[in-house]
Structure 1
């Protein structure tokens, strides 16, 4: 089937869809003919976005969900299947961000980040994959990680980066696991995107303790790639079954490459071949530590 027709008539679930990248994904998918379940912990926001998309002729519903709660996610799956009959595309996009040094962070900070960014993805996979695996035809999963999944901590984001490393690792492991079922897996890695993620703690439950510091405020990230462009790149990557899709501002690409190379240089040094990750032969180099 041509890529232009692959999505039409099928159904997608997008978490974190009240705004930002999630809302842009829902819009892009709806414009390509998909029915879309918009899911978010922000009940008012997700309904507002759903109303806007229905006004544009798209077939969508908005559902309140807490992805960190398995029962809430199970209810989302039941609602989605009852409304549309099948789910062909699952976009695990919900995520939160927190800044702070590891030594100063509370265990509550970590548990909150992990409960949404990692456990939220796993809850959705466990809730939706049984029906997706039992179906046939085109099916796909997209998990949203971050460029931080490839970086050491660069600005007091070590805990956040750790959750995104986990999303990347799980996604790359899930890809061959689901291949025999005919289900594709793509991991989306946005960089600096113009979203409200700096205000993540507006939805932080009190059970995780006091709010962390917000050194960069709570506004929309400036000088960033538009969520609509992230969504376009993501959907194009889904259609071509890419394992990884990067979406970041053009002016940050060289810096990102340099940061990734720094990480590889650490590995090179640890392997005993500093500056040369691909020696012509092991025998042409002195043994590590020599």
Structure 2
């Protein structure tokens, strides 16, 4: 825990769900935290709850799809705490729909938050983090969907999560010589409000997509606090990938990954049996 105590973490998408749980978990280990979210009221509420427990935290509004907004977040984080040792690129959104029936606005919205949002944060924070000494780490939140051969009407979402995994593993190799670690967090079903992601969708991206599963909390899911604990444990051991999903979903996920490997083997001419 010496890596965390007395240091600073910035968490995007932290007004609720996994991000809020990460803020609480990291603060409990002695970190100062910047709770950042497009939902300013929610971010300030989470930060206020932490301060009420005597934990150093500030809330900040950020639109990760806007490079200038992210630059403002970086400036404020460094002005407030002097350094940032852990950057958690956790902001993410979800929608459902078949590829042929989804609009370009659907794709642009997903990618502007999930992929470009992560890149905006990396560009704003990494130069500053590289100028620091000592322990530093980046954690990017992807999803188990990045490993599924059958996205089930989440192909656009899954594509953004594939991108996060690829970018994160590449970044890990690039930053390793500088002593900066990179971990990609891949949660499964988590009891969050991600089904209601479009509550923050700008009109600039067109009409909202249909919401076939409603907008409530994800059912039959792992609690965000468990994901946060798994994530922090993975960061501390510098894991390349951390999976966090309910016990009842592990065998199904394993079977889906094995199906992907079967398809790979077949394509390579290995004639792997199903």
Provide the rounded CA distance (Å) in 1 between the counterparts of 2:235 and 2:195: 27
1:249 and 2:257 aligned: no
Q: Which residue pairs with 2:220 in the alignment?
A: 223
Q: Which residue pairs with 1:22 in the alignment?
A: 19
Shift of 1:181: 1.0
Shift of 1:72: 0.3
When normalised by structure 2's length, the TM-score is 0.99
Alignment match of 1:98 (pick from 95, 100, 104): 95
SS in structure 2 of the partner of residue 188 of structure 1? strand
In our comparison, the structure showing a higher alpha carbon Rg is 1
1:269 and 2:247 aligned: no
Provide the rounded CA distance (Å) in 2 between the counterparts of 1:71 and 1:56: 32
Post-superposition Cα deviations, 1:32-65, rounded to whole Å, max 9, x if no partner, equal 0000001000011111111111111110000000
User: Could you say what the CA RMSD is over the residues aligned between the two structures, in angstroms?
Assistant: 1.0
Post-superposition Cα deviations, 1:159-187, rounded to whole Å, max 9, x if no partner, equal 00000000000000000100111100000
Contact between 1:91 and 1:141, CA under 8 Å: does it hold in 2? Answer: yes
Counting only pairs closer than 5 Å after superposition, residues 1-290 of structure 1 correspond to structure 2 as 4-275=1-272
SS in structure 1 of the partner of residue 243 of structure 2? strand
Contact between 2:151 and 2:158, CA under 8 Å: does it hold in 1? Answer: no
Contact between 1:152 and 1:161, CA under 8 Å: does it hold in 2? Answer: no
Post-superposition Cα deviations, 1:211-252, rounded to whole Å, max 9, x if no partner, equal 001000000001100000000000000000000000000010
Residue ranges of structure 1 left out of the alignment (5+ in a row): 277-290
SS in structure 2 of the partner of residue 180 of structure 1? helix
Provide the rounded CA distance (Å) in 1 between the counterparts of 2:185 and 2:208: 28
Equivalent pairs, count: 274
Shift of 1:107: 0.1
After the TM superposition, which segments of 4 or more aligned residues of structure 1 sit over 4 Å from their partners?
none
Provide the rounded CA distance (Å) in 1 between the counterparts of 2:149 and 2:71: 34
